Structure 1
Amino acid sequence: MAPITVRFDHLLRISDQHGTFEHALGAEPRREHGYCTDDMARVLVVTSRQPEPDATVRALERVAVRFLDEAQAYSGGCRNRMDVNGRWTDSYALEDCWGRCLWGLGTAAAHSDTGLIRRLSVVQFERAAHARSRWPRAMAFAAVGAAELLSVDPANKAARSLLKDYVTVLPEPTGDDDWPWPEKRLTYANAILAEAMIAAGGALDDAALCQRGLDLLGWLIERDTGDGHLSPTPAGGWSAGEPRPAFDQQPIEVSSLADACARAATMDAAAIWPDTVRAAVAWFQGDNDAGMLMWDPDSGAGFDGLQRDGVNMNRGAESTLAMLSTFQQAQRFAGVPQ
């Protein structure tokens, strides 16, 4: 396996003064497709938690904070899409981009080594946190961001209020040991649902909620493992009785598992959590259902998808950020090659 190196070369190459381009054709950014808040929230997450970032990474962190600021409405909603000329092309909403915005801002408030970024992130978080979403993943991302902010500012009223409201809208446990998952089908970024329960349980001193998240995450890992390696839920989703492995597999599923397991490891000493982070790295390194490398060690680019017959070699923002995030989490655990 190639050694782990968190390289921002490709991410910087597909970024400019407005943001990071959403899509790429091969290694070239597809400028005509513009930028999105979903990706810029991810950019803020990986740039703010990078140890000792250089000047170029710090500059991209500032671009991300500015992008998220401009995406927000004063009432809390969030726009998602900006064109190549810096014009917003959609309306304010409370969908996943809103939740990811709060996730990015809470993470930066907790982890950025730049005081101005931390202060701006808190201000923007508190503005967006006035709103609530009816979408489970949006609320889950927002809850993780709130828990991050509370880790450094336990008295923050906006973050604590959001977390308490998040808990009230959680579905009741299914009572089905075979399918405890809160949805009838696994879809996308599944692990965020479990991670949010773990994060909220820790922040609110709710041991039962934390344990529910840990149990769900453990169940998800079992579903997303086959033949000794990660075999994540495909882009089309998965439900009991459907064949595995299944394709197209997306890097976001792997990074979501790594993030959730890294958080779980702070709450529980079981070996499954660091082991799964290591398995997530191995998935990018070729220990996957197709035996194919899912990143470019020379540039730090992530490939867009694992298919039955090979790899989607496009290197868009989401896949690259998923790889960078996974490698960052891996560096927290001993035994991962670096």
Structure 2
Amino acid sequence: MTATVGRSRTTSSRRWATAPAPSFAHLARLSDDTGLFEHARHAIVRREHGYCTDDVARGLVVLCREPEPTAELLRLAERYLAFLTHAQDAAGAFHNRLGHDRRWTDEPGLGDWWGRALWGLGTAVARSPAAWVREEGLVAFSRGATRRSPAPHAMAFAGLGAAEVLRRHPGHVAAAALLADAASAVGAPDTDARWPWPQQRLTYANAALAEVVIVASQLRHGGPPLDEGLRMLAWLRDVQLRDGRLSVVPAAGWRRGAVRFHHDQQPIEVAALADACATAATVSGDPAWDDGVRQAIGWFLGDNDLGTPMWDPGTGGGYDGLTAHGPNLNQGAESTLALIATLQHARRWS
């Protein structure tokens, strides 16, 4: 049986119709000739916090998703790619944190940043219009794809990059193996319909775990059943709806059986859900999944628990979180990239 999504429509599922085109103005403001700064106070860059591979990789994903990038965006993608290749060591691991003094402050590792780096590289391989970017991305991806992380989230991000590589290179053995291992790392859904999630706690970027199971179902050999990923995602989406609008799991997470709080919602949760629902619609052929994308867009435009926009039209930046008292008005890289990634999905109906 294939999981399906409810088709009820509310204001929160209609605001997408007025969604603006994604703006890269604030992303450019946060970037310099080295990479992408992590933090901002309101819209002003906080250089003292430096750069991180996590955000640069997410930046490469959204830039390479643009169907007709401008020359400025191509140059920005080149800069982010150069950052990632500089962050990678000979064994395929990645540094994550670079100070403003251009010195790494950590050792190469296989945390979330490794997975996101492979996601960014894989997206460049699949979608960049520049041949040399695709080629260099493939070299770096192939080196990193030989490694495995013990963390399910890191594996999920890496698996999404592997799925991108397989779009352009369906015979890429290392990518296929990584995608299969990523789905295995996430695990199969629980049989309890009240909590079918493979883990006992929802944390961050939760929908990415369901998404990698969905895309892994398309592997020729060793992929999980499609229904497993769809069941996970259907439950996750439904449990994050409140009075018909999106109300995502907050930064503190939510453990099975515990009280769930609704403050400190993070844009990364919304973007992950938009990505996963768009993937589910494409893979399953069921347009009902598009409702999840619309609700994610609506969350940024004001269809959330406080009825407030979660972005600044003047700067193009995304706000860092939805607190109990309103938006956190800082416009850091993660939240801005989540905004861009979500608004990119509005093109599905243009």
- Smaller-chain TM-score bracket: over 0.9
CA, structure 1 residues 291+169, in 2 after alignment: closer, same or farther (shift >3 Å)? closer
Counterpart for residue 133 of structure 1: 149
CA, structure 1 residues 305+169, in 2 after alignment: closer, same or farther (shift >3 Å)? closer
Q: Report how far residue 272 of structure 1 moved.
A: 3.2
Gaps of 5+ in 2: 1-14
Counterpart for residue 48 of structure 2: 32
Counterpart for residue 13 of structure 1: 29
Does the 8 Å contact 1:72/1:92 carry over to 2?
yes
Counterpart for residue 336 of structure 2: 320
Q: Residue by residue, what CA displacement relative to the aligned partner does 1:163-194 show, whole Å, maximum 9, x if unpaired?
A: 23334444344221111101111100000100
Q: Residue by residue, what CA displacement relative to the aligned partner does 1:52-74 show, whole Å, maximum 9, x if unpaired?
A: 11121111100110011011111
Does the 8 Å contact 1:104/1:145 carry over to 2?
yes
Counterpart residue type for residue 279 of structure 1: Q
Counterpart residue type for residue 116 of structure 2: R
Counterpart residue type for residue 90 of structure 1: D
Q: Which residue among 72, 89, 96 is the counterpart of 1:73?
A: 89
Q: Which residue among 106, 124, 131 is the counterpart of 1:115?
A: 131
Q: Report how far residue 152 of structure 1 moved.
A: 0.9
Counterpart for residue 8 of structure 2: none
Counterpart for residue 74 of structure 2: 58
RCO greater where, 1 or 2, for CA within 8 Å and sep 6 or more?
A: 2
Match of 1:322, SS?
helix
- 1:104 matched to 2:111: no
Match of 2:201, SS?
coil
Separation in 1, partners of 2:172, 2:19 = 40
Separation in 2, partners of 1:213, 1:140 = 12
Q: CA RMSD in A?
A: 1.6
Counterpart for residue 82 of structure 1: 98
Q: Which residue among 168, 171, 174 is the counterpart of 1:152?
A: 168
Counterpart for residue 249 of structure 1: 265
Does the 8 Å contact 1:100/1:138 carry over to 2?
yes
Aligned residues: 334
Separation in 2, partners of 1:282, 1:245 = 21
Separation in 1, partners of 2:58, 2:224 = 29
Q: Report how far residue 242 of structure 1 moved.
A: 4.2
Separation in 2, partners of 1:85, 1:56 = 25
- 1:239 matched to 2:289: no
Q: Residue by residue, what CA displacement relative to the aligned partner does 1:219-251 show, whole Å, maximum 9, x if unpaired?
A: 000111111110000000013444455110000
TM-score normalized by the length of structure 2: 0.92
Separation in 2, partners of 1:219, 1:8 = 33
Counterpart residue type for residue 42 of structure 2: G
Q: Residue by residue, what CA displacement relative to the aligned partner does 1:235-291 show, whole Å, maximum 9, x if unpaired?
A: 000134444551100000000000111111111133331111011010000000011
- 1:142 matched to 2:164: no
TM-score normalized by the length of structure 1: 0.95
Q: Residue by residue, what CA displacement relative to the aligned partner does 1:97-147 show, whole Å, maximum 9, x if unpaired?
A: 000011111111111111111111111100111111110001111111101
CA, structure 1 residues 172+10, in 2 after alignment: closer, same or farther (shift >3 Å)? closer
Identity across matched positions, percent = 50
> Residues 162-177 of structure 1 correspond to what in structure 2 (within 5 A)?
162-177=178-193
